[in-house]
């Protein structure tokens, strides 16, 4: 039961990241008054792409945990590497894997942008 709840939590985290990508809430906390329009657009797009890619992986991992709990087979619990391997085994898997990899790189770039423009609260 606890594995199912963990999986559900990870699945919900994936949905929340997807929601963040759709609604631009990932831009909250930026010092936007210091950003040019191009920098704002860049931060928005890298955040959308990055959070979209992360949401796919989180939802897959949450699903794997929930399946593990349902089947009671701990060998079926999977992490990021297995989620990527499963994605690659699908039709056009290399294309999907390349898209997710691009998204994860975009998330890394977004993290640097966020680190530079984050409004610190004390």
d(CA 122, CA 116) in angstroms, rounded, equals: 17
Q: Coil, strand or helix: which one is 35?
A: coil
Q: What mean pLDDT is predicted for residues 61-88?
A: 75
Cα–Cα distance measured from residue 84 to residue 86, given in angstroms and rounded to the nearest whole number: 5
Give the tokens for residue 50: 């990055």
What is the pLDDT at residue 8?
A: 93
Using one digit for the tens of pLDDT, what is the confidence trace for 3-27?
889 889 999 999 999 999 999 888 8
Phi, psi of 120 (to 5 degrees): -80, 135
**33 pLDDT tier (thresholds 50, 70, 90):** confident
Of the two residues 106 and 91, the one the predictor is more confident about is 106
Yes or no: say if 62 and 14 are a contact pair by the CB < 8 Å rule. yes
Among the residue ranges 32-36, 86-90, 97-101, the one predicted with the least confidence is 86-90
């Amino acid at each position: 039961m606890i594995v199912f709840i963990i999986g559900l939590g990870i699945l919900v985290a994936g949905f929340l990241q997807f929601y963040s990508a759709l609604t631009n809430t990932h831009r909250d906390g930026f010092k936007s008054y210091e950003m040019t329009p191009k920098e704002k657009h860049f931060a928005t797009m890298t955040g959308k792409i990055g959070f979209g890619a992360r949401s796919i992986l989180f939802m897959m991992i949450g699903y794997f945990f929930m399946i593990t709990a349902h089947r009671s087979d701990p060998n079926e619990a999977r992490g990021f590497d297995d989620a990527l391997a499963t994605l690659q085994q699908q039709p056009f898997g290399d294309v999907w894997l390349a898209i997710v990899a691009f998204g994860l790189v975009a998330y890394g770039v977004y993290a640097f942008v966020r680190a530079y423009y984050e409004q610190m609260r004390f």
